Amino acid sequence: MSQQTHRDRLVELRRELHRYPEPAWREFYTTSRIVDELETIGVDELYVGSEVLAEEERMSVPDDDELGRWYEQARQEGAREDILERLEGGRTGAIAVIDRGEGPTVALRVDIDGLLREESTNSDHVPATEGFRSEHAGAMHACGHDAHATIGIGVLEAIKDSNFEGTLKVLFQPGEEMVAGGKPMAKSGHVDDVDYLLAVHIGLDHPTGEVVAGVDGFLAVSHFLAEFTGEPAHAGGKPNAGENAVQAMATAIQNLYAIPRHEDGATRINAGDVGGGSATNIIPEHAYIEGEVRGETTHLKDYMQERANRVLEHAAAMHGCSVEQSTEGEAPSAESDEGLVEIIHDVSTETRGVENPIRRDTLGGSEDATYLMQEVQQNGGLAVYVGVGTDHPGGHHTSTFDVDEDSLPIAVDLLSSSIREIASKRP
């Protein structure tokens, strides 16, 4: 296959996936299309849906009505009925295995979900002008997971046609944006025998031609939902009879941001989605906060979470309300192992299109690939998070985000070559 044909095939698949973005646990069409590609390639083992997830570890699963709407939409768009049946209840994702005899087991993790935000229609936004803008109102691939899924398929194809010796597993993980899919896949048993794990992300403010062999600086994160319940009353006639849930919410928000920072490292708190009440003349009986805490380490995240829980409880009590708290998603911190960083950096210096190889950089955000990384490391293996630069006109999670499609073959070549090198050197 020529370089141009290789690139064109990757671009075509990525653009198709871009048109049909699906958020966490709703990746029905996406999973079906991935399975189509895997069956065309011809993998040795293929696991789908509930087969790749530890059911008890799933978080932030939408209600049945929401899941049903996306399920039916995927069916109408051509998702296969036999695959949809295996994905019922939002049990999305897939794992493909290539078995090439004696040798180590290497895994590549790619995420596949989109985001709930409207995509730009601007005339300078390439997906809009080239005809592959999102067809799902209010949803888009604003972080490059369409490219990640494409890269995973490209790597499988490249490894199958190579002299690789060992076992390759490609994990097509759902639910990363809600930091909800990494733990169920990590605890599924599929990575228990993995010797080496690679996770990949494009962009991260690195331009096309840059490669970061080992990304570090993951902030441990926990997403929480706090739901306040008070007593309604007429705001004019009997204001004293009510217990104001919005007051409790407002008090909590003010004091969440007052949690002291920690001397041991970076800590974060954010109340990102808040609301409550029903009418101007009713003392509000319901209010909510959807927020997050983060820490430079899992210990620091736990510190923030403990303090946040205390704030929420006392803010509710202060205003005669109750509060129910739940964890909607979480991920620990992690570090990339030097043995893999060294190999990937060396390979990047020989990879076509890589102009600036970088050994390490910090993310400064959160990622639930860290669950998979830690699972492999705790079992005695090595793990690494690789950054492949791409020019993106809008920042990650913005309505104008896009990727430079020249980065697709760079990523496939880098990762497939690195996997072969890892298998031969066994660091």
Binding residues: 143, 145, 177, 201, 397
Residue with tokens 């950054």: 387
H runs (alpha helix) in 295-349: 298-318, 338-348
Element at 167 (helix H, strand E)? strand 166-173
Instruction: Return the number of other C-beta atoms located less than 10 Å from residue 322's C-beta.
Output: 14
Q: List the binding residues for Mn(2+).
A: 143, 145, 177, 201, 397
Element at 414 (helix H, strand E)? helix 407-425
Residue with tokens 């929420």: 312
Candidates 225, 282, 279, 280; CA nearest to 249 is: 225
Candidates 324, 314, 320, 326; CA nearest to 245 is: 320
Candidates 296, 321, 298; CA nearest to 226 is: 321
3-class SS at 65?
A: helix
Candidates 426, 399, 422; CA nearest to 139 is: 399
Cβ(427)–Cβ(357) below 8 Å: no
**In Å, what is the CA distance from 129 to each residue of 134, 136, 395?**
12, 17, 19
Element at 399 (helix H, strand E)? none
Element at 255 (helix H, strand E)? helix 245-256
